[in-house]
Amino acid sequence: QVQLVESGGGSVQAGGSLRLSCTASGYTYSRRCMGWFRQAPGREREVVAGIVSGTSFTYYADSVKGRFTISQDNAKNTVYLQMNSLKPEDTAMYYCAAVGVAATFCPTRPDLYNYWGQGTQVTVSS
């Protein structure tokens, strides 16, 4: 059974930083896309960043480029999202997601991801 467990959310002031972690278990981690999505109240779930394990592929939404960094620790089956220069509009529930088949890129549509974590709340105050 595949499980994705997120941690690291919290409340910060604008300009602050947080690091989210997502650890996968029961999952073939190699050459798989793992992504971070977020969903604010009343809004659709949107992609934030993605990474293909064991490769150099990364993807960032335009709204977070230059501020967020996605990385991986293959030995720990863990993906991280370092979020710097946080803005109030970054406030949302953040979800880790994984694609169930080998990939060379990460899709941006949430319906193309097979597994999801429970989410971790990020709140940025002005």
Are residues 98 and 28 in contact, defined by beta-carbon separation less than 8 angstroms? no
Q: Provide the 8-state DSSP code for 114.
A: -
Task: Return the closest-CA partner of residue 117 out of 21, 32, 42.
Answer: 21
First to last CA, the chain: 40
H/E segment holding residue 19: strand 18-25
What was the pLDDT predicted at 33? 94
What was the pLDDT predicted at 26? 87
SS3 107: coil
Place of tokens 């996968």: 24
Structure tokens given for 25? 């278990």
Encode pLDDT of 19-31 as tens digits.
Answer: 999 999 988 777 8
Task: Return the closest-CA partner of residue 111 out of 101, 91, 97.
Answer: 97
Encode pLDDT of 107-126 as tens digits.
Answer: 999 999 999 999 999 999 99
Spatial distance between the Cα atoms of 33 and 91, rounded to a whole number of angstroms: 24
Encode pLDDT of 55-98 as tens digits.
Answer: 899 999 999 999 999 999 988 999 999 999 999 999 999 999 99
